[in-house]
Amino acid sequence: MNDDKRIFIFDTTLRDGEQSPGASLDEKGKLEIARQLAELRVDIIEGGFPITSPGDALAVKKIAKEIKGPTICALARTIQKDIDVALDSLKPAKRSRLHVFIATSAIHRQYKLNKAKHEIIRIATESVKYARNRIGEVEFSPEDASRTEPEFLYQVLESVIDAGATILNIPDTVGYTTPFEYGNLIKGIFDNVPNIQKAIVSVHCHNDLGLAVANSLAAIKFGARQIECTINGIGERAGNAAMEEIVMALDTRGDIFGGRYTNIRRDQLCKASRLVSALTGMVVQPNKAVVGKNAFTHESGIHQDGLLKLRKTYEIMRPQDVGFGETKLVLGKHSGRHALENRLLKLGYKLHAKELEKAYNDFKILADKKKELFDEDIEALVDTQLASVPKTYELIHLSVATESGKDPRVSLRLKYKGKILSAEGTGSGPVDAAYKLVDKLISRKVKLLDYLIKSVTVGKDAQGEVTVKVEGDLGKVITGQGLSTDIIEASVNAYLDAINKILYRSTSSKKGSAAHGV
């Protein structure tokens, strides 16, 4: 606590986060998230609201028992029974904190609680005293603080500090405040609550206006030392302040925040985000700051070129810092030559200037039709445009006999180096049977990863286009395509196309071809 630059991260993913509509977590899921929160090195984990259900009480108890490092906290209303149940759940914890709250705003006092100001102060102080006699750390939250009359709020805070609260949390319960206003409120608290130095001021912001992170950061500027937040910003309604954004804002803009820092392991942020998303079923929007799928993906050609010259031109954080993996340059119609050349090099293709020019022109034509070009598209483009793959294996004959109730019988003939190879057999369907025969004839087992069929023309005689993805040498994914009015024939052609590419690549790389070093 001596280091006044240190900001404490109070994670409430398992309590407020779990209050997200549709995001209920079972005890096992909660424990798994708590382990990851400990990996992240959060300072406090709010494990739940034990009075709400026996399951929640048990989850807090298990977290308290197993998780070492962070302080474990449980929420309670200013009701003795709530406090007792929460304290019981916290018993196994090495370090624990009780968090008690009561609403203080006029609207909540009148319509929800039907209590006068003096009653609120009495209940709050009695509860804090009761809790403080039983546990060393008590946090108090005046719910809806940001809509509470400031003078009354100061009075409440002063009283609960006298009663033994050591952390004062100032919730913007309905996400109503704005950064300037909230910053001023925090300043007002420091200026007007005489015993404020005995406590840590915490903030808890909801995101109804999309300002939860901005409000929390404004509060830090005015002396708040603890931030309550959740992974991916999940929480009631529009959610809470997102931990990853707070942490990275402080980390990236230490200059603005006077060097204030958190103890969070940034490289664990993406892992935590993915875990929470998987266990709660709450999908992370692609453009979500820090952890979204697109957070480090660059599409514009100008940006891609700049990045390749100097990363900092368009990236203020490194994806590795947050455990994201690598920066991704999405190749699409906005990409330039530089980005294509770079990707081709990564894929093992070193092209001469003329070859690159042709590849780039073909790439632009394809990019006009397809939003995002994957590595396989680029490879297919180079393979077919620059050096069409020889048909090492070619389909000469195919016949399929089907009879209801029996497995289909397929006979197949392939041409290979001037010879004819033939085989006959069955399978669980005609495509399965044909692929098994191909495997047998080429004496090599190919791993089929994906199979897609689509009609490319209309009418009864529509052409079917089959695309397969197979695993080639060194685990590389190779795409093959086949087109025919007969879908079994299209399937075999697609499979052979992929196999021919694998063979072509392995021979050309053995020869050390200038174009292929895969």
Residues in a beta bridge with 420: 415
* Shortest Å distance, C-beta 249 to Zn ion: 20
Q: Which of Zn ion, ligand KIV, none is residue 239 near (CB under 5 to 8 Å by kind)? A: none
141 binds, among Zn ion, ligand KIV, none (CB under 5 to 8 A by kind): ligand KIV
Query: Binding segment for Zn ion among 16-24, 77-85, 127-135, 501-509 (CB under 5 A)?
Result: 16-24
Please report whether residue 16 would count as binding Zn ion according to CB under 5 A: yes
Residue 11 binds which of Zn ion, ligand KIV, none (CB < 5-8 A, kind-dependent): none
Considering only 10-18, 295-303, 437-445, 457-465, which stretch makes contact with Zn ion by CB under 5 A? 10-18
Using CB under 6 A, which of 11, 16, 82, 489 touches ligand KIV? 16
Contact letters (x/-) for ligand KIV, 157-196, by CB under 6 A? Answer: ------------x-x-x-----------------------
In the list ligand KIV, Zn ion, none, the entry touching 480 (Cβ below 5 to 8 angstroms by class) is none
Taking the least distance from each CB to Zn ion, the nearer of 16 and 305 is 16
Tally of CB atoms within 10 A around 335: 26
Closer to ligand KIV by CB, 77 or 303: give it: 77
* 8 A C-beta contact, residue 290 and residue 269: yes
**Total of residues contacting Zn ion (CB under 5 A):** 1
Distance CA 228, CA 223 (A): 14
Residue from the set 204, 260, 303, 516 that interacts with ligand KIV by CB under 6 A: 204
141 near ligand KIV, judged by CB under 6 A: yes
Q: Which long-range contacts (CB under 8 A, 24 or more apart) does 427-431 make?
A: 430/400, 430/402, 430/488, 431/488, 431/491
List the beta strands (DSSP E) in 206-272.
226-229
Q: Is 36 in the site for ligand KIV (CB under 6 A)?
A: no
Residue 245, interface with ligand KIV (CB under 6 A)? no
Handedness of CA 439, 444, 449, 454 (dihedral sign): negative
| Cα–Cα separations (whole angstroms), residue 230 to 245, 287, 438, 461 | 10, 18, 53, 56
Q: Which of 101, 349, 435, 495 binds ligand KIV (CB under 6 A)?
A: 101
In the complex, minimum distance from the CB of residue 4 to Zn ion, in angstroms, rounded to a whole number: 26
Helices (H) and strands (E) in the chain, counts: 16, 16
Contacts of 19-26 with CB under 8 Å at 24 or more apart are 19/235, 19/236, 20/234, 20/235, 20/236, 20/239, 20/280, 20/282, 21/237, 22/281, 22/282, 23/234, 23/280, 23/281, 23/282, 25/59, 25/279, 25/280, 26/55
Kind of pairing, strands 297-298 and 44-48? unpaired
Site of interaction with Zn ion (CB under 5 A): 16
Residues that bind ligand KIV in the complex, under the rule CB under 6 A: 16, 101, 141, 143, 169, 171, 173, 204, 206
